[in-house]
Chains A and B, each alone.
Chain A
Amino acid sequence: MSKIIHLWKSYWRILTRPSVHYSLGFLTIGGFLMGIVFWGGFNTAMEYTNTEEFCVGCHEMRENVFAELKTTIHYSNRSGVRAVCSDCHVPHDWTNKMARKMAASKEVWGKLFGTINTKEKFEAKRRELAEHEWARLKANDSLECRNCHNFDSMDFTRQSERASDQHSSALANGDKTCIDCHKGIAHKLPDMAGIH
């Protein structure tokens, strides 16, 4: 027992006055290296949750939204550039990304406790889930769309007349943002009662 107390005391000394026993350089570099390991591990784990493999790992996503995405232009098109879930659903900057991840844990919670584990339950909840995404994209001026679709690089003369009419007016003057006009570009829309 006294041995343990002794050991503890010496550790405590090291912890409280570390520079007596280890050089400052060792501590700095050691701390730095450990930092890299933990930070890297954390970020790698975070990165993994950004992959499509992770997103469609559960059947709720695979059989509903992913199956629908596959039929759209964001999955297959003539140029072969495609969007994965995180391109549209996860912000790029760190704070917003973490905030979105926290919100997404709610969806994982939903998975664990089966709030959307059948097609019917998912459809019933769908309008609410969609409203959250619309509100988010409306608030950030469709940032995730603009990460790929740069307004300044849009050549109106190459767009259809309907597209260039709307883009050069309501979009250009900031009245509307992408998601106001382009709902349902990646998945089937839920019951839109009340929208028109």
Chain B
Amino acid sequence: MKKLITALFTPFAFGTAILLAAAIAVAEPKISTLRGSANLDAEEQAPRMGKIENHDQKRQRAYPQQPPTIPHDITGYQVDKNFNKCLDCHARTKADESQAPMVSITHFMNSEGQFLADVTPARYFCNQCHVPQMDVKPMVENQFVDMDNLINTDK
């Protein structure tokens, strides 16, 4: 009887030990999650905020259809049902005074292909496509290749 118990128990004990070792190995974080390496009940110090580029200089677009990035700070700009601060300068009727580029005419076309008198509701929330840029080191390497370069290297 004793032998039988030992025979049954030994593999079980081994298995548990292996599982335990594996569990310890997993608990040791190898990859950094968004939360960082802080314990569950602790909070990492937030990284410093980057500086928003505010030079008002147009940037090159990476491909023709790319929504242009915003070359200035937009902190605190209100864009909601009541008011759209972007259109305060970029609206058709404001561009002369502000000398800001008018919103693209494509933004006046609704989903049925009809041109409206003003920006179509589908295009109202500018920041869905247009964003400012920060002066920071990219978190991951960018392997994007410009179309022109791609064509040239293929030849």
Give the interface segment out of B31-39, B87-95, B104-112: B87-95
Q: Is A189 an interface residue (CB 8 A)?
A: yes
Q: A162-B56, A192-B82, A196-B93 are in contact. Are A73 and B87 (CB under 8 A)?
A: no
Size of interface on A: residues with Cβ below 8 Å to B: 16
A196 touches B55 (CB 8 A): no
Nearest residue, chain A, Cβ from B91 = A196
Q: A189-B82, A192-B82, A196-B94 are in contact. Are A161 and B87 (CB under 8 A)?
A: no
Task: Please give the distance in Å from A166's CB to the nearest CB on chain B.
Answer: 8
A160 touches B54 (CB 8 A): yes
B72 touches A162 (CB 8 A): yes
CA distance A44 to B104 in the complex (A): 57
Q: Is B47 an interface residue (CB 8 A)?
A: no
8 Å CB contacts to B: which residues of A171-196?
184, 188-192, 195-196
For residue B76, which residues in chain A have a CB less than 8 angstroms away from its CB? Answer: 71-73
For residue B78, which residues in chain A have a CB less than 8 angstroms away from its CB? Answer: 184, 188-189
> Among the listed B73, B82, B99, which residue makes an inter-chain contact with A191, where contact means beta carbons less than 8 Å apart?
B82
Q: Is A128 an interface residue (CB 8 A)?
A: no
CA distance A184 to B84 in the complex (A): 11
Task: Please give the distance in Å from B82's CB to the nearest CB on chain A.
Answer: 5
Q: Hey, which bits of chain B sit against chain A, CB under 8 A? A: 54-56, 72-73, 75-76, 78, 80-85, 87-88, 91, 93-94, 98-99
CA distance A195 to B78 in the complex (A): 14
Number of residue pairs A-B, CB distance < 8 angstroms: 37
CA distance A191 to B82 in the complex (A): 4
For residue A72, which residues in chain B have a CB less than 8 angstroms away from its CB? Answer: 76
Q: Hey, which bits of chain A sit against chain B, CB under 8 A? A: 71-73, 160-162, 165-166, 184, 188-192, 195-196
For residue A71, which residues in chain B have a CB less than 8 angstroms away from its CB? Answer: 76
Given contacts A160-B73, A188-B80, 10 further A-B pairs with CB under 8 A are A71-B76, A160-B56, A161-B56, A162-B72, A165-B99, A184-B85, A188-B78, A190-B83, A191-B83, A196-B88
CA distance A50 to B94 in the complex (A): 38
Task: Please give the distance in Å from B72's CB to the nearest CB on chain A.
Answer: 6
For residue A195, which residues in chain B have a CB less than 8 angstroms away from its CB? Answer: 83
Task: Please give the distance in Å from A168's CB to the nearest CB on chain B.
Answer: 13
Task: Please give the distance in Å from B58's CB to the nearest CB on chain A.
Answer: 12
Nearest residue, chain A, Cβ from B82 = A191
CA distance A13 to B30 in the complex (A): 99
Task: Please give the distance in Å from B55's CB to the nearest CB on chain A.
Answer: 7
CA distance A160 to B51 in the complex (A): 14
Q: A184-B78, A189-B82, A191-B82 are in contact. Are A160 and B72 (CB under 8 A)?
A: yes
Nearest residue, chain A, Cβ from B55 = A161
CA distance A192 to B98 in the complex (A): 19
Max chain A Cβ within 10 angstroms of own Cβ: one of B54, B72, B83? B83
For residue B94, which residues in chain A have a CB less than 8 angstroms away from its CB? Answer: 196
Task: Please give the distance in Å from B88's CB to the nearest CB on chain A.
Answer: 6
Nearest residue, chain B, Cβ from A196 = B91
Nearest residue, chain A, Cβ from B89 = A162
A196 touches B87 (CB 8 A): yes
Task: Please give the distance in Å from A182's CB to the nearest CB on chain B.
Answer: 10
CA distance A165 to B93 in the complex (A): 19
